[in-house]
Structure 1
Amino acid sequence: MNVFKEMKREVESVLQALKDQGDLPEGTDFSRVAVEPPRDPSHGDMATNAAMVLAKPAGLKPRDLAEKIAAGLSGGDWIESAEIAGPGFINLRLKADIWHRVARAVLTQGPAYGDGDAGGGEPVIVEYVSANPTGPLHIGHARGAVFGDVLARLLDKAGYAVTKEYWINDAGVQIDILARSAFLRYREALGQDIGPMPEGLYPGDYLVPVGEVLKREHGAALLEMDEDGWMPIVRDKAVAMMMDLIRATLADLGVEQDVFTSERGVIESGKVDDALAYLEEKGLIYIGVLDPPKGKKPDDWEERPQTLFRASRFGDDTDRPLKKSDGSWTYFASDIAYHRDKYNRGFKHMVLVLGADHGGYVKRMQAVVKAVSGGEASLTVKLCQMVKLLDKGEPVKMSKRAGSFVTLQDLIDSVGRDVVRFFLLTRKNDAPMDFDLSAVKEQSRDNMVFYVHYAHARCRSVFRQAEEAGIDTSAEALAAADLSRLDAEPEFDLMKRLAEWPRAVEAAAEAEEPHRIAYYLYDTASAFHALWTRGKEETTLRFIQPDDPAVTIARLALVEALRTVIASGLDVFGVTPVDELS
């Protein structure tokens, strides 16, 4: 039950009636009409801009049209009152029964309450993490991993058919460096003194197990080969083991992607050649010379003829090279083939989650998607700012095992998966944030993670108290509750919060901003905590009323509805609700 959508249909019904009687011209477009909560709750439950956006085509003053709309809305099953404010906004107050119906809908639908149909089953692919398989995931990967995973969950709840994907960058120079680093660990496993790791190779101890496995599988045989011989063997084993390490960390974080696509596989399958042949056929590839970057000419700038993609035709700042000086494909060529493959798999809606240091990558990839799909597909790129890891305000030292960074696994082990997931969603993805290991463990209302969990635990506590008092708290008893007994102002406040959940899901999915759910949960939890606190002083507001069983069971039904919505929001975050706090 989405009361905002249903109320919008009520408004549109009145507008259609005005059109039928000639007050609005034929062909009037209702698409800009909105029904939303008012900025000031004291003005009513909802507000509509219908008169403001339709007055001009109607040839009426906004307030005159507002009077007609308000008259049509008044007296119906939904509206208690419709009042005109300012230049022509209409503030609406809904009848009490509507809010009781919302609470009943939550109890009836359970976790499915809030599921939307805005996506209409449209396929959407969300690519995230996609870290080079050259070592463990670090704190810099955490935010993109959580953001991408929760965005995918959110889109799924809003009605999209979501595929979660990881692009494995297992081709190119960095993979050769990985193999050479692993080969040194192999020599070390065989008892050789390799000395300090040479500059330019990966120094972390995480490659020691790779060396041990190579020793176990090949003995000393690899030492008899030249680099061309051992390189593919070591490379494949190192990449496989690094991906196992990455998958294990992601699993500990609660991230399980549907598809892992290999860059090397795309290249070897001929998809790069096929994608570039398609672009060439469209006249989008040519041989040309690029101008140096604006404002400066690098010392190593080489003005030479190159194979270029006409990215500037699709909104990019410049055309982009497809081949290196040695004739091999650039990473960009592989990316073109990969996104062509996404389109060929049926995805016209693509989301790519990247670190903020990839900001210069946005326009070129959006240009690629337009080009390889003939303009049918679109790409949204969500940039995640870096996270500073602190403890009591001080920077956390680097991990010795990783060599130069704090691993994501270390962070999960320190504070737990659920804390990591929730806290990283308490800010918009493109806003910098500090992750203080001490602050996220504090039990205070300043800690959003704790405060939401506390609300869920308190809901469970209410039921434990009721059961100890011998009250029937079964689903059947709650379903039979007389919700009209919920008539106190703070109870209506809670029911109105519940009514906003489907709208919150849809709005957050449309904006692709999961952090909105964090704030919805926090505000809802705050409203519940406020009622709990008032009940300490005002006994008539307490959930359990020994002398009034009907009110008690109605309030228990409201608490269960609230718990259900909080649990549903935490499920979108991939976070497990807690029943008790230690």
Structure 2
Amino acid sequence: MNIFADLRTLVIDTLAGMERDGLLPAGLATDAVSVEPPRDAGHGDMATNAAMVLAKPAGMKPRDIADALAARLTDDPRVASVDIAGPGFLNLRLADTVWQGLVVNALTDPGFGRSTMGGQEKVLVEYVSANPTGPLHVGHTRGAVFGDALASLLDYAGYDVTREYYINDGGAQVDVLARSVYLRYQEAHDLSVDWPEGTYPGDYLIDVGEALKAKVGDIWLDAPEDVWLQEVRLFATEAMMDLIRSDLAKLNITMDNFYSEKSLYGTGKIEKAIAQLDAAGLIYRGTLEPPKGKMPEDWEPREQTLFKSTEHGDDVDRPVQKSDGAWTYFAPDIAYHYDKIERGFDSLIDVFGADHGGYVKRMKAAVSALSGGRVPLDVKLTQLVKLSKNGEPFKMSKRAGTFITLSDVVDEVGADVTRFHMLTRKNDAPLDFDFAKVTEQSKDNPVFYVQYAHARVNSVLRKAREAGIAVDDATLAGADLTKLNHAAELAVARKVAEWPRMVEIAAKGHEPHKIAFYLYDLASDLHGLWNLGNAETDLRFIQDGDNATSQAKIALIRAVQVVIAGGLGILGVTPAEEMR
């Protein structure tokens, strides 16, 4: 139940009635009419802009529309009063029974907060997609958590979601990986090796070298590179993907698909995608201007095969094939996204690191051209994570040789803390990850504060059972909730009522961090009500000798717990049953 959507329906239906009665001209478009919380909670429970947005097309004064609309809205039993503010904004106050009824709804509807907004539209969320050359590092962690939470959020909002990892195994960096594994293979045979610049000397390849030795023995020790490179490349890639899957599992992330870039080569898929662009008149032979910052004498103009991406919003046209006939890095990415379109997805989301910002326009241009503008692509960039402890830079074991791994972070603070904290900032804002602060037990730590709220409700439920009070959801939903009449209690119920609306807002904007923010605010309201009970005994959740009142108050905080559990589920965080 989305009370905001329900009240918007009431407003729209009332406006339609005014049209039928001649109070408004017929045929007015109401798409811009909104019903949402007012900026100042003191103005009411909900506000609508209906009179303001309809005044001009209706040829009427906003105040005249507002007066007529207000008079009719108060006929609905859910609306306690309507005030007109300024030139014609309407502020609505709802009856207490609305908020009390929403508590019942939260306790009886297993899908409370879920939405059908997505209409089972098929969405592909591609995230992580790190080169398979080593373990995932802390930068990948943020993209992994963001992408996974976004996928869960869209699923919760009624979309048909597929999670996918694009294995970048088609480029030269995988050859470097193979050569690095070969060096570890030599070391496994007690040979001394030199590590050329650009190879991967991290300890994580020691086990891979040992595994290669166990598989093939010494047959490649004296063999030339062309004998072993392709076999070692495949072996190393599979080993790294096993490592990456293990890293993702530590964050409770499971992909639906792993898509290999290498599968695009030699299969005609790249050629097919480029031919599709060519058929649209978007491929031509030409010479690009020198890159910005290059002196003319440093630039050697070469004719290449170019994609006319500027016709689909890009800044410059992009090369897809070099002068020697080799594909550019962009060509397989075009083919990969064309494959996504051909698989029937209605919309695409790519989650990239901030260093891929320059890739956004060209990729959007390619998808727009390949789908004829039918399939939207949203590219989300995740900014860097700064690790610290008590405000000082924090150094950890660097098994990777050059960077701190995802596994290091999760081993230090756990998956739940890692996931929640990675969502406490918008994805495109830098994130500070202080190992001391993310584990401290205080209001300033949102992970703890939300988990503590869930655990606190469990504590009340446990004490109620010990006192002989029935607190199963069915019993609580049947309690006399008119006893929830204190302003602080109703404020908590109002915050619970915002949950279905918040899910839809966050899903529409592809912003899972808004779920984390909402959960913190909801937890804060619960803790505030708990603290008020210390001074005002009538607000305590368990009222000695009055089971009926106790059940009404416990119903409210149990509804809070239901929402917190649902929200944490979207974020991929396990609700805490108790705090230790």
Q: How does 1:438-449 map to 2 (within 5 A)?
A: 438-449=436-447
Deviation per residue, 1:79-117 (Å, 9 max, x gap): 10011001110000111111111111000013x110001
Partner residue in 2 for 1:32: 32
Residue 220 of structure 1 is matched in structure 2 by: 218
Aligned position for 1:47: 47
Is this contact kept in 2: 1:348–1:377, CA < 8 A? yes
Q: 1:493 aligns with which of 481, 491, 494?
A: 491
CA distance in 2, matches of 1:92, 1:572: 31
Match of 2:564 in 1: 566
Offset of residue 325 of structure 1: 4.5
- 2:108–2:474 contact (8 Å) kept in structure 1: no
Shift of 1:398: 5.6
Per-residue deviation at 1:172? 1.2
Residue 461 of structure 2 aligns to which amino acid in structure 1? Answer: F
What's the offset of the Cα at 1:519?
Answer: 1.0
CA distance in 2 between partners of 1:117 and 1:406 (Å): 40
Contact kept? 1:134, 1:175, Cα under 8 Å: yes
Q: Counterpart in 2 of 1:118? A: 117
Distance 1:223 1:274 in 2: 41
1:9-158 aligned at under 5 Å gives the runs 9-110=9-110, 112-158=111-157
Q: Deviations over 1:334-386 (max 9, x none)?
A: 00000000000111311111111111011000001001112111110111100
Unaligned runs of 5+ in 2: none
1:101 and 1:50 map into 2 onto residues whose CA distance is 26
Residues of 2 paired with 1:375 and 1:172: CA distance? Answer: 29
Show the 5 A alignment for 1:385-534.
385-397=383-395, 399-534=397-532
**Tell me, what secondary structure is at the counterpart of 1:80?**
strand
TM-score by length of 2: 0.98
Q: Which moved more, 1:325-334 or 1:174-183?
A: 325-334
2:181 corresponds in structure 1 to 182
Residue 302 of structure 1: how far off its partner (Å): 2.1
C-alpha contact (below 8 Å) 1:126/1:165 kept by paired residues? yes
Q: Which residue of 2 aligns with 1:160?
A: 159
| CA distance in 1 between partners of 2:551 and 2:350 (Å) | 47
- Answering whether residue 243 of structure 2 is matched by residue 279 of structure 1, we say no
What code does the residue aligned with 1:134 have?
T
Partner of 2:374: 376
CA distance in 2, matches of 1:9, 1:138: 48
**Which secondary structure does the structure 2 equivalent of 1:83 belong to?**
strand
Bigger drift between 323-332 and 142-151 goes to: 323-332
One-letter identity of the residue aligned with 2:131: N
Decide whether the 8 Å contact of 2:502 with 2:515 is kept in 1. Answer: yes
* Distance (whole Å) between structure 2 residues aligned to residue 298 and residue 457 of structure 1: 66
Shift of 1:435: 0.3
Please state how far the C-alpha of 1:400 moved relative to its aligned partner. 3.3
1:325-364 aligned within 5 A: 325-364=323-362
> Partner amino acid for 1:42?
G
Are the structure 2 counterparts of residues 297 and 311 from structure 1 closer, same or farther at C-alpha, using a change threshold of 3 Å? farther
Aligned to 1:470, the other structure's residue is in SS state coil
What letter matches 2:542 in structure 1?
I
Given that 1:398 and 1:404 are in contact with CA atoms closer than 8 Å, whether structure 2 keeps it comes out as no
In structure 1, the partner of 2:6 is 6
Q: Distance in 1 between matches of 2:191 and 2:227?
A: 20
Q: CA deviation at 1:24?
A: 2.1
Secondary structure of 2:265 counterpart: helix
Q: Quick check: 1:398–1:405 contact (8 Å CA) kept in 2?
A: no
Q: Secondary structure at the match of 2:64?
A: helix
Provide the C-alpha distance between the structure 1 equivalents of 2:201 and 2:533, rounded to a whole number of angstroms: 60
CA distance in 2, matches of 1:399, 1:176: 27
Q: Distance in 1 between matches of 2:485 and 2:568?
A: 28
Matched letter for residue 175 of structure 2: D
Spell out the pairing of 1:185-200 with structure 2 (5 A cutoff). Answer: 185-195=184-194, 197-200=195-198
The percentage of aligned residue pairs carrying the same residue is 57
Any conservation in 1 of the 2:387–2:432 contact (CA below 8 Å)? Answer: yes
1:160 & 1:313 partners in 2: Cα distance? 31
Question: SS of the counterpart of 2:221?
Answer: helix
Cα separation, 1, equivalents of 2:437 and 2:184: 39
The one-character-per-residue Cα deviations of 1:278-318 (angstroms, maximum 9, x if unpaired) are 11122211110001124543765320100111111111111
Q: Is the 8 A contact 1:266 1:334 kept in 2?
A: yes
Question: C-alpha displacement at 1:216, in angstroms?
Answer: 0.9
Q: 1:394: how far off?
A: 1.4
Give the secondary-structure state (helix, strand or coil) at the position aligned to 1:87.
coil
1:443-486 deviation line (CA, Å, top 9, x unaligned): 11000000000100100011111112121222332132111121
Check the 8 A contact 1:123/1:160 in 2, yes or no.
yes
C-alpha distance in 2, partners of 1:383/1:24? Answer: 46
1:138 alignment partner AA = H
User: TM-score, normalised on structure 1?
Assistant: 0.98
Give the SS at the match of 1:328. coil
Could you tell me which amino acid in structure 2 is paired with residue 446 of structure 1? D
On the 8 A contact 1:393/1:436 being kept in 2, the answer is: yes
Structure 1 unaligned segments of length 5 or more: list them: none
Distance across 2 between alignment mates of 1:248 and 1:319: 40
1:308 and 2:306 correspond = yes
* Cα shift at 1:277: 1.5
Kindly state the Cα deviation for residue 188 of structure 1 after the two structures are TM-superposed: 0.9
Superposition pairs for residues 182-261 of structure 1, below 5 Å?
A: 182-195=181-194, 197-261=195-259
8 Å contact from structure 1 (residues 125, 163) kept in 2: yes
Q: Distance in 2 between matches of 1:72 and 1:400?
A: 68
Letter of the 2:446 counterpart: M
Which amino acid in the other structure matches residue 154 of structure 2? L
Mapped to 2, the partners of 1:300 and 1:460 lie a distance apart of 69
What's the offset of the Cα at 1:118? 1.2
Answer whether contact 1:287 1:308 (CA < 8 A) is retained.
yes
Task: Give the counterpart of 1:550 among 529, 548, 551.
Answer: 548
Give the Cα separation in 1 of the matches to 2:517 and 2:465.
Answer: 32
- Cα distance in structure 1, aligned partners of 2:335 and 2:525: 50
**Separation in 1, partners of 2:296, 2:418:** 41
Contact persistence 1:131–1:141 (CA under 8 A): yes
Q: How much does 1:531 deviate?
A: 0.6
Match of 1:267 in 2: 265
**Contact residue 396 and residue 408 of structure 2 kept, 8 A:** no
Q: CA RMSD in A?
A: 1.2
Which segment is superposed worse, 300-309 or 332-341? 300-309
Relative distance call for 1:298 and 1:564 in structure 2 (3 A) is: farther
Does the CA contact (< 8 Å) of 2:305 and 2:323 recur in 1? no
Alignment check: 8 A CA contact 2:302 2:323 kept:
no
